[in-house]
Amino acid sequence: MSWKLDEVIDNMKARIQALENMQEANTGYKLAKQDEVTWLKDQLKEIEDMKNEDVRNFEEAEEDLREKRYEAYI
């Protein structure tokens, strides 16, 4: 699942970069696409935050499992 999120994140970053490059070339386009850039950046932040939370949750679960195995061993 992580590789899918990485791919989505990379695609969104590429789209943002393409829109920003187009905005620099054409001021009329800039006004029309600024909302899309802002929306994409917000969505990207949410995705990255969820991914980081999943990583933290997985690490906590791994630590709990190690502790329980250690306790069971004793």
What is the per-residue pLDDT for 20? Answer: 86
pTM, two decimal places: 0.69
pLDDT of residue 64: 92
**pLDDT given for residue 49 in this prediction:** 93
Contact 44, 12 (CB under 8 A): yes
CB 44 within 8 A of CB 55: no
DSSP letter for 26, please: -
Q: What's residue 26's pLDDT?
A: 72
Please give the average pLDDT of every successive group of 10 residues along the chain, which has 74 residues: 83 90 75 86 93 93 92 82
pLDDT of residue 1: 59
